[in-house]
Chains A and B, each alone.
Chain A
Amino acid sequence: MKLTRTIVTEEGWNQASDRLANGGLTLLGLWGDAPCVYMALLDEATAEILVLSYACRDGAYPSVGARHPPAIRLERTIRDLHKLNAAGAVDTRPWLDHGGAPYAFLPAEGEGLHQIAVGPVHAGIIEPGHFRFTANGEHIVRVEQRLGYVHKGIEALMSGATLDDAAKLAARTSGDSTVAYTYAFALAAEAALQIAPPPRAVYLRALMAELERLANHFGDIGAICNDASFALMHTQTGILRERTLRAAELCFGHRLMMDVIVPGGVIHDLAADGPARLEELLSEIRRAFPPLVELYDNTASLQDRTVTTGIVKPDYARQYGAGGYVGRASGRNFDARRAVGYEPYSHLAFKVPVLDAGDVNARIWIRIREVEQSLALIDQILSLLPTGEIQTAIQANGKACEGLGLVEAFRGDVLVWLRLDASGQVARCHLRDASWFQWPLLETAIKDNIVADFPLCNKSFNCSYSGHDL
């Protein structure tokens, strides 16, 4: 992937912050690699990605978050993990480090307000995180998230790891996006080492990515409806999800297709009867899914829960560079497959659905439309699938190098930035889930909704805890 890293002075760093603040650029990532801090920027007009680095002075760099709020949690993370301070930061509380003093939640003042503390252990089978609601009766005036409970030190473990071991860690950053993470990691490694995977592997990667997208969209469309107590949809889409995972296992040897994509290619070729199995899967989905869409569209009691609930304002979606269905349901026309156009997507025809309403309903419709697009993409991939090798040998090139990968996971763009040392080991790897820029918008979306609609809103985002907590 095209990558230019520019070493900047304080002036250059601040200019970038200003361009973020005035909307000229979108923040793709902000991370530490002591003694430097790095910032990845996207120019949406030209689809160009820029990476800036700034050498900290006395362990500090000028705060980006003070001018551009989407950077605030990233700066708090950099302080926790790398001991580098953002000078002039507006929020200096720790984020992933839970070791210090009791956490100070932001205050909300007014008559008749009470707090509801939820988590980190939730009622369902979901990941842990804490939500602090301030409400007046049923009406929420503020919700504040506290995350970091599943912080496993992934990036620290990657430093000094071999490329193979680091790829396995990348695969376990967020299990629901394991294909997308290994895909982005492989692209970053291949960009750093300037090698290209064989054409067949390029198409197989996209095939896996679309199967992963289908499985997650099916599961979540049903789960959102289930949070509105409409269990029938959950049952029916659960069947489609299971069929998709079974097809994935038959084709690639693992239900979630974990560890199949590696730097240099893929390690498991499509099974001999894979194309036939996938044709069966596609025809079953094309038979079973449209009636479910109709059911969703025609059930007034369900629509009553999803329409106008949990609205993300388009301005926020743009400011935060919100990826995936969260951004696209709020008017942000961005999909890494289209915008950055990595292979093989530049050779495939697909539409990027965009809506403006920004509510739970719009996020469901984006996913419904994306299911249809993924089906069409799988058709094309199967008909264009090249023959030949599936892996190119990886060799260290004897000098330190850097690479970046940006891949569209089901919930949005995953960014991987990688620095390898001369022996080909990982010196530093940064993984940025789409959730970083979606979690804060959930706080804005829930305001003025009722407490009982929070699960519905939360599920319609389905942000990753593990992908965020690292």
Chain B
Amino acid sequence: MRKTLFESMTRGPLTEPPPAPDEAGLAELAQSVNRAARAKLGRSLSIRHVDAGSCNGCELELHALSNAFYDLERFGLRFVASPRHADVLTVTGPVTKNMREALKRTYDAMPDPKWVVAIGACAVDGGLFAASDVVEGGVKDVLPVDLHIRGCPPSPTELLKGLIALLERAA
């Protein structure tokens, strides 16, 4: 173990320079984020994630944000275990009928101010599953959404661009 740790110290970090914030994301956020909230949060946001019906592809890329290459926490962004600790709710998937209630309860458990980020093509409008009888639709059909990050699934870089845009506007 010491050898591996020592190697990591001498090889230099794998972490890559951050991407620029997503322009479309900045524009979408301009309307939803106010100055007072920004002052309170101090450039740090806690994220609670809910899979509301995803195929788990988006979850794989959300996980990748924490690997050595993307290192999400350097931006002051971190995933937390409880909605009570969260400023941001990320939601993936079309919202299924079976997850609607759990999603709403998670949102309701979060303190204000709070933002909702819908992640992936399904979260925008239900995607390929929009026509299903057991799907409610996109996240906006259940919760107020502040930012959409598109892609199937969005790559970690696209996720970072969106979340950095949120950080620019919100915190």
Residues of A within 8 A of B (CB): 96, 98-99, 120-121, 123-128, 148-154, 156-157, 165, 168-169, 172-176, 178, 219, 232, 235-236, 238-239, 241-242, 245, 255-256, 258, 291-292, 295, 299, 464-466
Contacts and interface: CB of A to CB of B under 8 A. Distances in A.
Contact of B64 (A174, A242, A291): A242
Contacts of B93: 150, 152
B94 A152 contact: yes
Interface stretch (B24-32, B37-45, B54-62, B142-150): B54-62
A126 B93 CA distance: 12
Contacts of B62: 125
A149 B100 CA distance: 9
A127 B54 contact: yes
Contact of A256 (B60, B81, B102): B60
Interface centre among B5, B96, B134 (most CB of A within 10 A): B134
A116 to B, nearest CB: 16
Contact of B129 (A157, A219, A241, A258): A157
B10 interface: no
A255 B61 contact: yes
Interface string B59-99: 11111101111000000000101100000000001101111
B54 A121 contact: no
Contacts of B64: 238, 241-242, 245
Interface in B91-150: 93-94, 96-99, 102, 105-106, 128-129, 131-135
A120 B102 contact: yes
A178 B61 CA distance: 14
- The secondary-structure label for the interface of chain A is loop
6 shortest interchain CB distances as A-B pairs: A175-B57, A123-B81, A153-B132, A238-B67, A175-B55, A172-B55
Contacts, number: 134
Contact of A295 (B4, B49, B59): B4
B59 A126 contact: yes
Contact of A173 (B4, B52, B55, B94): B55
Given A120-B102, A175-B153, A299-B1, A152 B56 contact: no
Q: Which of B62, B81, B96 has the most CB of A within 10 A?
A: B96
Contacts of A465: 56
Contacts of A99: 97
- Which of B56, B96, B99 neighbours the largest number of chain A CB atoms within 10 Å of its CB? B56
Nearest to A152: B129
A128 B102 contact: yes
A151 B14 contact: no
Contacts of A153: 129, 132-135
